[in-house]
Structure 1
Amino acid sequence: MKVFPAVDILDGTCVQLVQGNRKNAVTYGDPVSRAQDWLEQGADALHVINLDGAFGAAEKNVSLIKEIIGSTGAEIQLGGGIRSIADAAGWLDAGVARVIIGTLAVERPEAITEIATEYGREAVMAGVDARGGSVVVHGWEKTAGDLITMARLFEERGAGSLLFTNVDVEGLCSGIAEEPVRRLREAVSIPIIASGGITTPQDVRTMREIGVEGIVLGSALYRGSITLKEAIEEAER
C-alpha cells in the first residue's frame, strides 16, 4: 500500500483545512519545500491539491504546482479545479501521473472516457468525496448522488482508480470510519486511494487490511500525530 503525503495549496501557501473550511486553514509554509521534505523523509509520491481551484480560482497556484512537478520528479496525483478535459490534459502534459476529477466526473461522466482514451485509464482518478454516504462536489457544498452508485459509474466510464475522501471524518484527526471504505472496496474492482481520518499506525493497518491500494495523509501528518516513517512502515508490511 502506498502513502501519499498531502500538499494542499491555498493562496500560495501549504495548508491543512478542517472539514474543508478555508476559515479553519492552518498554514505550513512553502508548498515546494514541504513537498521536498516529504520526499526526503521517504515518500515516493505526492497528493497535490489546488484548493483555490476547488473554490473556483483554478488559475491560482499554477506556477507553484509546476515548480513542484519540475523540481521533485515525483509521482504526483493532482486535483482541485480541474473542470474540463482541457484542464486535465494540460496537467497531464505538464507531467502529473494522474488527475483527480470530482465535479467534472459527476457533471460529465463522459469526460472520464475521453481522458482515459487519450492518456490511459491510469491517468484518470475519479474523486468520490462523500458525506453520509452521498458524493459531494463543488468544494463539498453540493450533494451529487449515492457513493456506491457514482463509484460504479466512474469505473464503468473508464476511471483507472478512485480517490475516496470520507468528509465526515476528514481533518478531525479522530480516526477512520471503516464501514464506507469496506463497502466501496467490495463494490468496485479498480484501485482505491483512501483519505479522511487516518491518524494512527492502527488506522493505516486497518486500511491495508481492507485492501485499499493507497492512503492520503494530511492533518495527522502535519500535526505530528503520525510520522511518515511510521505510516510507510505499516503500509508496507
Structure 2
Amino acid sequence: MTRFRPCIDLHHGAVKQIVGSSLNDHDENSLRTNFVATQPAEWYADLYRRDGLTGGHVIKLGPGNDEAARAALAAHPGGLHIGGGIDATNAETWLAAGASHVIVTSCLFNRDGIFQKHILQELVSAVGANRLVIDLSCRRLAGGWAVAMNRWQTITSLRITTDTLDSLAEHCAEFLIHAADAEGLCQGIDEELVALLGSWKGRPMTYAGGIATMADLDLIDRLSGGSIDATVGSSLDLFGGSGVKYADLVAREQQAQP
C-alpha cells in the first residue's frame, strides 16, 4: 500500500511550499511560493512525531537552513531523513544530529552533471548504504526523464531507467524522486513516471510532485502496485492547501498499520 511520507521543505530558514520549476539562483524574482509557514520547522517535526509518522524528509533548499533543519531533527530524532548540501564530509554530522538517513543528489555529479560513482562509494564508506537515500528527482525530456541537481536547476547525464535503478540499488536504502516539473503545481502526478518506477521493486521509494487530492494517492498505489510511497506538499491543508487533509492522511496511515 502507498504510504504517506511527511515533508519539511526549508528555504531561507522557513518552512515553505514552492513551485519546483521556479527555482533559479540567478533570478530570485522567478521563485513562485505557494506557502510560507508561521510555525518553525520543529513544530512540524513534533507534529509528525506525535502522529507516529516516520520516514519523511527535511529538504534544505539552499543556504541559511541548517539551524532550522537541526531543530526539526531534534524534535523527531530518528524519524526524518535530511537532504540538501549533503556530502561525504558532513553526512555523519547530520546523522549524529538525529537524521535516520541522509539524502544525496548534487554531490554525486561533477560541475557538468556527469555522474561520479566514486563519490557514491565514498558516501557508502562513510555512513553505510543502509543510511543513504539517493535522490533521483528529475525533469522530463524527450523520451524520458533526467536527474536534475542544484535544486532541480541543472540537468545531469543520468536518465531515469530501470537499469539506472538496478545499478544504484546496492548503494542505498531508498530512493526519493520528485517530479520537478509537477512539484508545487497541484495539477496531478506524472503518471508515466510513477508507472515506470512502480514496475521496479528493488528498493523502497518515495514519489513527490503534483499530488492534488487523495485520489492521486490511490492512483499512485494502483500504478505502482502499492510499492511507492508518496509525499504531499502544496495541496495539503497543513501547508495552506485545500485538496488533501492532513487528518485524512494520518487516519490512512493508522488504518494501514498491522
Contact 2:214/2:243, CA 8 A, preserved across alignment: no
Compared with structure 1, are the counterparts of its residues 13 and 124 closer, same or farther at alpha carbon in structure 2 (3 Å cutoff)?
same
Cα deviation 1:29-64 (Å, max 9, x = unaligned): 222223323444553443211112xxxx3xx22222
Secondary structure at 1:85's aligned position in 2? coil
Does the 8 A contact of 2:7 with 2:233 survive in 1? yes
Measured at CA, do residues 80 and 6 of structure 1 come closer, stay the same or move farther in structure 2, by a change above 3 Å?
same
Over 3 Å counting, the alpha-carbon distance change for 1:124 and 1:194 in structure 2 is same
Task: Give 2:166's match in structure 1, choosing from 148, 152, 172.
Answer: 152
User: Do the aligned partners of residues 78 and 14 (structure 1) sit closer, same or farther apart at CA in structure 2, a change above 3 Å counting?
Assistant: same
Task: Say whether the 8 Å CA contact 1:99–1:124 is kept in structure 2.
Answer: yes
Matched AA of 2:72: I
Residue 153 to residue 103, structure 1, CA distance change in 2 (3 Å): farther
Which residue in the other structure is 2:27 paired with? none
- CA separation of 1:19/1:63 partners in 2, compared to 1, >3 Å: closer, same or farther? closer
RMSD: 2.2
Give the match for residue 76 of structure 1: 80
Question: Equivalent residue for 1:163?
Answer: 176
Structure 2 equivalent of residue 90 of structure 1: 93
Report Cα offsets for 1:64-106 as digits up to 9, x if no partner.
2111111233511111112x20122221222211111111234
Query: Given the alignment of the two structures, is residue 218 of structure 1 paired with residue 236 of structure 2, yes or no?
Result: no
Q: Distance in 2 between matches of 1:108 and 1:167?
A: 22
**Structure 1 unaligned blocks of 5 or more:** none
Q: Which among 107, 116, 136 is matched to residue 108 of structure 1?
A: 116
Q: Which residue of 1 aligns with 2:10?
A: 9
Q: CA deviation at 1:173?
A: 0.6
The TM-score, its normalising length taken from structure 1, stands at 0.86
CA distance in 1 between counterparts of 2:4 and 2:164 reads 25
Amino acid at match of 1:14: V
- The 1-side partners of 2:11 and 2:176 are apart by 20
Distance 2:101 2:78 in 1: 12
How far, CA to CA, are the matches of 1:212 and 1:220 in structure 2? 22
Inter-partner Cα distance in structure 2 for 1:14 and 1:110:
33
Greater share of residues in strand = 1
The 2-side partners of 1:44 and 1:16 are apart by: 20
Q: Which structure features the higher share of helix residues?
A: 1
SS at match of 1:86: coil
Q: Percent identity?
A: 22
Residue 225 of structure 1 and its aligned partner are, at CA, apart by 1.6
Contact kept? 1:5, 1:217, Cα under 8 Å: yes
CA distance in 1, matches of 2:190, 2:21: 17
Q: CA deviation at 1:108?
A: 2.8
Moved more, 192-201 or 24-33: 24-33
Equivalent residue letter for 2:116: R
Mapped contact 1:176–1:203 kept (Cα < 8 A):
yes
1:50 to 57, 60, 78: 60
Distance 2:212 2:198 in 1: 20
Structure 2 residue identity aligned to 1:67: A
Q: Secondary structure at the match of 2:6?
A: strand
